[in-house]
A and B are shown apart, each in its own frame.
Chain A
Amino acid sequence: MLELHDITAGYDRRNPVFTRAALSVAPGESVGLLGPSGCGKSTLARVAALLHRPDAGRVSLDGTEVRAWRHRAPRALRTTVGVVFQQPRMSADPRLRLRDLIVEPLRAAGRRTGIPARLAELAPAVGLTDDLLARRPHEVSDGQLQRACLARALVLRPRLLVCDEMTGMLDASTTAALVTAVEAYRAETGASLLAVGHDRLLLERWCDRTVDWSDCLTPAGGGSPTS
């Protein structure tokens, strides 16, 4: 489903955040990527979600090699991946009501007719009521906003979901509720999951397998760790 080969990435070519990282996620598989904060795992997650162009390396998604990132990526490829970040307040447009936030990718894709039906499926799946759907981000809690961000990530039915510290700032019950919603979606669609985080207990309970960040990196002078 997702193949990341020999990826080098960062925000300054002369000083990359990491070099030669590798990771793969099989179709239908859930993989937890574990590492301390600041190690670069979030950057790798952004590469996988087509949001960050790597300096070097190969990425393939669903058998297609990725050649362009961000808005340059072909729409069909972009909609293959859904992504949820740690800080819902930084990723949600403060002006939009939750309902519009969730369906905005459908609008952008020109699929307006499907909006009411998709919303009717997703809102209960993530536990949002009509009252909450009518509010703007500052009128809801972090947990409620993150529920909306998850619904938004699922709205185009991605075949891969990338969750970067999705529950990092949430309480135990909201965490379990979001994980339950992700797993219900995966059971229904067979989608794959890449969950990135630092909580070993959580990711080991949640995912089919976990990978330590240090094991994603090629030892100096060695071959690719997955080869």
Chain B
Amino acid sequence: MNTRVLRALEAVTAERAEGAVLSVRGLTVRFRMRGGRQVAAVTDADFDLAAGECLALVGESGCGKSVLASALLGLLPGNAETSGTAVLDGVDLLTADERTLARTVRGRRVGLVPQSPAAHLTPVRTVRSQLEETVRELTGVARRERRAAAEAAAERAAFPAGHLDRHPHELSGGLAQRAATALALIGDAPLLLADEPTTGLDRDLVERTVDELRRHVDEGRALLLITHDLAAAERVADRVAVMYAGRIVETSAAHRFFGEPGPRHPYARGLLNALPDRAFAPIPGMPPELTDLPPGCAFAPRCARATEACATLPEPLAGVACHHPESPRA
């Protein structure tokens, strides 16, 4: 790629950083294990997320995407060490103390749409009482208006008013997901973080869930969608970031990633090719151990394009961290 194009791309990146709701730079997470071992769960993640934009963070289980989400919420276990910055609305999520996170971040600046809504809801209380409780915690709404505020939240998440007095176990999977989303929306957080929100759901429910999330994006929220479901990502995302062995190896516009010219990083290409409506071909081998990463490209042992150059770490260039990316066809 020539320098003019690169410069133009950088300008776009800079512009993006300025309008960003969330700006992540050099985010790194290490877990200290017994025997002095260290797990390199996330390494040097950079990305920006703007209002009205959905970024899908995709990759296989163990690639670090859920750890990254936990880092943003300040929910990492005690043996984790983080570095880098993740600035949301002037607050660095990585250095903020628990009090700040609990009082001003979780629910207020970041709304979490959980992986398993059934487990996220309190089983012994009705949906209405949980919504009202969250309204009380997160907003200044006066007591007598809480009921209306809870109903409004339910409506925004397309949760039917007739089901508000039910307990979580009386809800279908789809309605439980909407109840959890309604809770996530109450604090009017500018950033929604959805961690595998469609795991275990049937395809039509997956589509409905992501379509509803998209609606909240179109209303001006930023959405970070963590998922291993590429079809869900294709349906909802504006941009896609692919993680492999703790690093973001490619960031791309969703329509270019899923359509033409397709992914440029060999791993991303392999992941897409594994889909049953594409080649249905697995990538040979398995991801490396995060305790024992090679100094160069972590994908090299599985990569058909690897050369000697790949023994050194590829720097991200125009969104792709690879020494020999596939050349754009279009």
Contacts and interface: CB of A to CB of B under 8 A. Distances in A.
- Interface residue tally on B, bucketed by range: 20 to 34
Interface stretch (B56-64, B153-161, B249-257, B317-325): B56-64
Contacts of B231: 201
Nearest to A39: B202
B104 interface: no
Contacts of A175: 274, 276, 282
Contacts of A36: 202
A175 B275 CA distance: 9
B52 interface: no
B170 to A, nearest CB: 14
Contacts of A143: 60-62, 286
Interface in A104-147: 127, 129, 141-144
Nearest to B196: A169
Given A36-B202, A127-B285, A168-B200, A205 B62 contact: no
B281 interface: yes
Interface residues of A, number: 28
A171 B285 CA distance: 14
B282 A171 contact: no
Contacts of B276: 175-176, 199, 201-202, 204-206
A180 interface: yes
A36 B172 CA distance: 12
Contacts of A173: 60, 270-271, 274, 282-283
B308 interface: no
Interface string A134-172: 000000011110000000000000000000000011111
B292 to A, nearest CB: 10
Contacts of B230: 172
A168 B329 CA distance: 33
Contacts of A204: 276
A17 interface: no
Contacts of A68: none
A15 interface: no
Contacts of B285: 127
A198 B203 CA distance: 7
B280 A171 contact: no
SS class, residues of chain B in contact with chain A: loop
B60 A174 contact: yes
A37 B199 contact: no
Nearest to A129: B286
B60 A200 contact: no
Contacts of A199: 203, 276
B128 interface: no
Nearest to A144: B286
A174 B282 contact: yes
A177 interface: yes
A169 B60 contact: no
A206 B295 CA distance: 38
A150 B64 CA distance: 25
B240 to A, nearest CB: 13
B274 A176 contact: yes
Interface in A53-112: none
Given A143-B61, A169-B200, A198-B202, 13 more contacts: A36-B202, A127-B286, A168-B200, A169-B199, A170-B61, A171-B59, A172-B274, A173-B271, A179-B280, A198-B203, A200-B203, A202-B276, A205-B276
Rank and list the top 10 A-B pairs by shortest CB-CB distance, nearest first.
A177-B282, A171-B60, A176-B282, A172-B274, A205-B276, A173-B274, A176-B274, A171-B228, A141-B62, A173-B283
Interface of A: 36-37, 127, 129, 141-144, 168-177, 179-180, 198-202, 204-206
Interface of B: 59-62, 173, 199-203, 228, 230-231, 270-272, 274-277, 280-283, 285-286
25 contacts: A37-B173, A37-B201, A37-B202, A127-B285, A141-B62, A142-B61, A143-B286, A168-B200, A169-B61, A169-B199, A171-B228, A171-B271, A171-B274, A172-B228, A172-B275, A173-B283, A174-B61, A175-B282, A176-B274, A179-B280, A198-B202, A199-B276, A201-B203, A201-B277, A204-B276
